[in-house]
Amino acid sequence: MSTAAIEVDGLARHYGEREALSGVSLALEQGQTLVVFGPNGAGKTTLLRVLATLLRPHEGEVRVLGSRVPEESWAVRGRIGLLGHEPLLYRELTARENLSFHARLHGVMPERIEQVLTAVRMGDRAEEPLRTLSRGMVQRVAVARAVLHDPELLLLDEPRSNLDPAAVELVEPLIGAASGRTRVICSHDPGGGLAEADLVLGLREGQAAMLAPAAAVDAEAVAELYR
């Protein structure tokens, strides 16, 4: 059993005749952070969803937390936290009801709900339907949802969008480097992204244009991807 959190070898996924991802390979050790850069449509979200076991690879091998995806996806679910563009929360329900629902799905104790609500400072607004809350607040609840079950691996798609600087600081212990979790982050911010990366992947049109340790990459190289 290897210690790598993620091993990807020749991953390909097509969307009809278009290759959303092709020939992507990488390895990420536990506790490290992979930051994925690339223009829109490059395949960042697709890669994230494959790692989340939501999409199956069409070619290649993918191992997440030691288990093959999709054959052994069942062993991995519940150990991954996904924070995508959508909060994955029901607008008509309150924060507490949403988290309670997810807690039951994951077999998480109710005390944990209060813990995360406090951690994102939504404890006092937890009884209001989400549709009455601002985007920033909903995003905070989404963060709470993503870490509710204490996942070993975090998959974050531009996590700081919709968050004001204060909120960004707030969620840092939960989803930031300090949390100690293995992380894969899709980012459009070369400066900030590079700062927290251990490994950098640059995607363009579904292919890996760049894969290197963060120390070997500078902001200029990242900006190249977008040209």
Give the ranges where 7-160 is alpha helix by DSSP (H). Answer: 44-51, 73-76, 95-106, 110-119, 135-147
Choose, by CB under 8 A, the member of 105, 195, 212, 219 that binds another protein. 105
Q: Applying CB under 8 A, which part among 51-59, 157-165, 185-193, 214-222 lies near another protein?
A: 51-59
SS3 205: coil
71 binds another protein (CB under 8 A): no
Contacts of 178 (CB under 8 A, 6+ apart): 172
Q: Is 25 in the site for another protein (CB under 8 A)?
A: no
User: Residue 180: exposed, middle, or buried by beta-carbon count in 10 A (0-12, 13-18, 19+)?
Assistant: exposed
Stretch 72-91 residues interacting with another protein (CB under 8 A) = 74-80, 82, 84, 86-91
Kindly tell me which of 65 and 222 has the beta carbon lying closer to another protein. 65
Contact 187, 37 (CB under 8 A): yes
Tokens of 92: 């008509």
Q: Does residue number 27 form part of the binding site for another protein (CB under 8 A)?
A: no
Give the H or E element holding residue 173.
Answer: helix 165-175
The answer to whether 83 and 157 have CB atoms below 8 angstroms apart is yes
Going 15 to 19 to 25 to 29, the CA torsion angle's sign is negative
- Tell me, by CB under 8 A, how many residues bind another protein: 63
Residue among 92 and 169 whose Cβ is closer to another protein: 92
Residue 161 or residue 219: which is nearer to another protein going by CB? 161
Residues in the chain: 227
Minimum separation from the CB atom of position 168 to another protein (A): 17
Q: In the complex, what is the shortest distance from the CB of residue 11 to another protein, in angstroms, rounded to a whole number?
A: 15
What's CA 125's distance to the chain center, in Å? Answer: 25
Q: Binding of another protein at residue 108 (CB under 8 A)?
A: yes
State yes or no: residue 53 binds another protein (CB under 8 A): yes
Q: Does residue 18 bind another protein (CB under 8 A)?
A: yes
Q: Segment 137-196, which members bind another protein (CB under 8 A)? A: 145, 147, 149-150, 152, 173-174, 178-181
Angle between helices 95-106 and 135-147 (to 10 degrees): 20
CA pair distance 197, 190, nearest whole angstrom:
10
Q: Which residues bind another protein (CB under 8 A)?
A: 3, 14-19, 30-31, 49, 52-56, 65-67, 74-80, 82, 84, 86-93, 97, 100-102, 104-110, 112, 115-116, 119, 129, 145, 147, 149-150, 152, 173-174, 178-181, 205
